[in-house]
Chain A
Amino acid sequence: MSTTETVIQLENVSKKYCKSLKRSLWYGVKDLAYEFAGSCKQRGRLRQQEFWAVDGISLNVHKGSTLGVVGPNGSGKTTLFKMINGILTPDCGKITIKGKVAALLSVGAGFHPMLTGRENIYINGSILGLSREEINAKFDNIVAFSEIGNFLDMPVKNYSSGMFVRLGFAVAAHCEPDILLVDEVLSVGDVGFRLKCLNHIKKLMDRGVTIIFVSHNMNPIRAICDRVVAIYNGKIIAGPDEPEPVLEQVQALFASRHLSQADHTDVPLGPPESLIDIHEVELLDLENRPAQTFSHDAVFKVRVHFTAHQRIENPSFGVEVKREDGVVCFINRSSHQQFQVDYIEGKGFFEMTIKGLFLASMGYITRVVITDSSITVPIVSKVGPKFIIKSPIPYSYNGVYFPEASWSFERE
């Protein structure tokens, strides 16, 4: 649905914050005085104890596209969101927005604990810019979506946190914006509701709504975003580009950070010098011939050629297979299957063989990782080739798994 029309344009946008509360308040007084005097010369420069939370970001988002924003805590994602939403004004640069923006920064903001769910739907709806008539028209849908049911007339202070979030999301989701900003809110709520929210977001995408999506969880980002941008220390460090290359860069960067912290050695931040290079990922059939299409019960081999620039003790190899719509089918690790390698250094390859994947007919994506002995931090991860599974059931089959089964029948 993405078009070439730009709906969000950020030109060299910056925002600063102050580390000290006392100073921050005093700067607030000064800023007020400058604002009343019609001057903005204090805006563009840093005063004592101030730092750039967002530092010179330029970005264009096209109508109908879905942009993922990744980055560690405190990298400036939320500040950026608040500026796009107009809650904060930029200190430098210019932001141009076309259309109505809605932000899911925090669901249920504005809920009054003493009032019932019903009353709060109206209040929250009007804070989000809906008129009373619009809320009346959408009321039943909101209630159905939130799955609140019988608790609608109970004060929200007695709601469970899940119910609170569900109601908040349900109201926000029915605002019908042109641009929707989603920030982390999906990390709460149970799995079922998260999926429902993702589905709702997908529906909005189909309707041509432009979406910017922030999440720490890479899976929804892979599942729904067509482009991803990575932010660190207020700056763009990778992208905007297709999800996989950006996420790879980010993972590599943070892997090197974790390692350096563990070793107490100082590795400067920035694109890391990788410890291991993966040169090639091959998908092979039974006779070790490269293949792209596999029968569901055929032998499936992944061979990974790498060079370890340093000696790495007890590495663990991993292969992830993901359906093209983002559903992770499995992640196999050598260490889980009692396959030990004492160390790797220099050139080498590892191979994983599966006697039959028994997956449903569809396109799949592979990813390979090499981790250190702790398995938690990938040293290197790389997206491998795509492949297709052909099973006797046609392509439209929806299940993940196509197990081999035997059948029997008897009359009694």
Chain B
Amino acid sequence: MTTDHETVYTPESRVSRSLTAAKKEMWRDVKASWDLARQLTLRDINGQYRQSLLGIFWAFVPPIVTAVIFIFLNNYKIINITETEIPYPVFAIFGTTLWQVFLHSLTTPLRVVEAAKPILTKINFPKEALVLSSLGQSLFNLGIKLIILIIVFFIFKIPLTWGVPCSLLAMGILILLGLGIGLFLIPIGLLYTDVSHGLSIITTLWFFVTPAVYPPPTSFPFSLIATINPVSPILVGARDLAVQGVLHNPISFCVVTILAMLFLMVTWIMFRLSMPILIERMSA
């Protein structure tokens, strides 16, 4: 920025500005915030594990514990899960790990913006950095979780297919879906803490209506779980691609992917528009 650069602040709604100008501004901010986003991501990851002896070990715990519980319940026939095409432990560990990846990307944006409140009210910086930092942290989390999946691959001697790289792509889509929903929650979530309280209950319920530890039901009305729940086709698709090398339901996978990308774009714009108003309420 030079001295000639002129900035104007007015009360007008930013929706009323032209779309091309808005897109240009967004792109400029994304570029400007790249460095900062990297710094914030590293700061949060470093800060998170520095006071812990076991460090990233804690990232492995939740999916493994959940998977072990379901493997136990299934082995002793306490719950009755339909026969899976692949060994159940593989199925369950993949399911819970992918769910955790999604859950992390969903809850991170609100957590990141909440933690940035003191900076937001004191320094003017491109807010895109917070979105990119959330994405960075989710990708780091995915990287850690992949270690579990690699170990499972070795133990169960799963053959490597072309589905594996495709599966990584599907995991990326899962993260973007989570990010979109996470951004959607920010405007109200920052004003009212009810959102974060409610979120833990809703995501627990959501886990049970997602075919993570059981195969997608085929009989109505339970088949709705697979068709209405946007997480289902992506999560199931990622698992099928990795383990079996095939995508059983490509149409719903593609439809959800496209919708998730559109949703992310809309929520990102909403995030941009709402930040100035939210910052006002933080400092008020």
A2 part of interface (Cβ distance < 8 Å) = no
Confirm or deny: B85 has a beta carbon within 8 angstroms of a beta carbon on chain A: no
Least CB distance from B240 to A in Å reads 38
Chain B contacts with A in 78-132, Cβ cutoff 8 A: 118-125
Among the listed stretches A27-35, A305-313, A318-326, A328-336, which one makes contact with chain B, having 4 or more residues with CB under 8 Å of it? A27-35
Flag whether A365 is at the interface (Cβ < 8 A).
no
Verify A132–B35 contact, CB threshold 8 A.
yes
Whole-angstrom distance between the alpha carbons of A199 and B7 in the complex? 29
Q: Return chain B residues, CB-CB under 8 Å to A100.
A: 1-3, 5
Binds B, one of A81-89, A230-238, A356-364: A81-89
User: Which of B42-50, B225-233, B256-264 lies at the interface?
Assistant: B42-50
Which residues of chain B are within 8 angstroms of A127 by Cβ–Cβ distance? Answer: 36, 39, 119, 123, 125
Chain B interface category by residue count: 35 or more
Q: Annotate B3-29 by CB proximity to A: 1 below 8 A, 0 otherwise.
A: 111111111111110000000000000
User: Which listed residue, B44, B51, B277, touches A35 by the CB 8 Å rule?
Assistant: B277
The minimal Cβ–Cβ distance linking A408 to chain B, given in whole angstroms, is 60
Verify if A90 is at the interface (C-beta below 8 Å from B). yes
Partner of B6, one of A28, A98, A114, A129: A98
Q: Which of A33-63 contact B (CB under 8 A)?
A: 34-40, 43-44, 63
Measured between beta carbons, the chain B residues less than 8 angstroms from A155 are 50
In the bound complex, how far is the Cα of B9 from the Cα of A92, in angstroms? Answer: 10
Contact B276 A89, beta carbon cutoff 8 Å:
yes
Shortest beta-carbon distance from B233 to chain A in Å = 29
**Could you tell me the distance in whole angstroms from the C-beta of A38 to the nearest C-beta in chain B?**
4
Stretch touching chain A among B59-67, B187-195, B203-211? B187-195
Q: Are B8 and A105 in contact (CB under 8 A)?
A: no
Closest residue of chain B to A5, judged by CB?
B3
Contacts A24-B284, A28-B277 known; A105 to B5 CB distance under 8 Å?
no
Output the nearest chain A residue to B187 by Cβ-Cβ distance: A32
The interface centre, meaning the residue of A18, A63, A127, A178 with most chain B CB atoms within 10 A of its CB, is A127
Contact, CB under 8 Å: A110 / B16: no
Chain A interface residue bracket vs B: 35 or more
Do residues B11 and A43 form an inter-chain contact, with CB atoms below 8 A?
yes
Task: Decide if A40 touches B11 in the complex (CB within 8 Å).
Answer: yes
Asked if residues A126 and B35 are in contact (CB atoms below 8 Å), the reply is yes
Which B residue sits closest to A82, measured CB to CB?
A: B283
B174-203: which residues lie under 8 A (CB-CB) from chain A? 187-188, 191-192
Stretch among A115-123, A282-290, A343-351, A372-380 lining the B interface = A115-123
Cβ distance A110 to chain B, nearest Cβ, rounded Å: 4
CB of A3, distance to nearest CB on chain B (Å): 11
Give CA–CA (A261, B242) in the complex, Å: 77
Cβ distance A192 to chain B, nearest Cβ, rounded Å: 26
User: Which residues of B sit under 8 angstroms from A87, Cβ to Cβ?
Assistant: 120-124, 279, 283
Main secondary structure of the interface of A (DSSP, over half): mixed
Given A25-B192, A36-B273, A132-B35, answer yes or no on A119-B11 (Cβ-Cβ < 8 Å). Answer: no
Contacts of B274 in A (CB 8 A): 32, 35-36
Query: Are B13 and A35 in contact (CB-based, < 8 A)?
Result: yes
Within 8 Å CB of A90, what residues of B?
Answer: 9-11
Interface membership of A304, Cβ < 8 A:
no
**Residue A383, interface by CB 8 Å:** no
B248 within 8 A of A: no
Q: Count chain B CB atoms within 10 A of each CB in A63, A86, A99, A110 and give the residue with the most.
A: A110
In the complex, the answer to whether A18 meets B284 with C-beta atoms within 8 Å is yes
**Smallest beta-carbon distance B9→chain A, Å:** 4
In the assembled complex, how far is the CB of residue A147 from the closest CB belonging to chain B, in whole angstroms?
Answer: 23
How many angstroms between the C-alpha atoms of A403 and B43 in the bound complex? 57
C-alpha spacing A87/B13, complex, angstroms: 16
Q: What residues of A have a CB within 8 angstroms of the CB of B16 in the complex?
A: 38, 40
Max count, chain A CB within 10 A of own CB: residue among B15, B39, B119, B276: B39
Output the residue of B1, B3, B9, B50 with the most chain A CB within 10 A. B9
The answer to whether A218 has its CB under 8 Å from any CB of chain B is no
Bound together, the chains give a CA A37 to CA B119 distance in angstroms of: 28
- Contact residues in B for A25 (Cβ distance below 8 Å): 191-192, 281
CB-based contact A95/B43 at 8 Å: no
Contacts of B1 in A (CB 8 A): 99-100
* C-alpha spacing A96/B6, complex, angstroms: 7
On whether the beta carbons of B279 and A123 are closer than 8 Å, the reply is no
Cα distance A28–B103 in the bound complex, in angstroms: 27
Q: Report, nearest first, the 3 A-B pairs whose CB atoms are least far apart.
A: A38-B15, A28-B281, A95-B9
Q: Can you pick out 12 interface pairs between chain A and chain B where the beta carbons lie within 8 Å of each other?
A: A32-B277, A32-B278, A63-B3, A87-B121, A99-B2, A103-B124, A106-B122, A109-B118, A109-B123, A112-B46, A127-B36, A129-B125
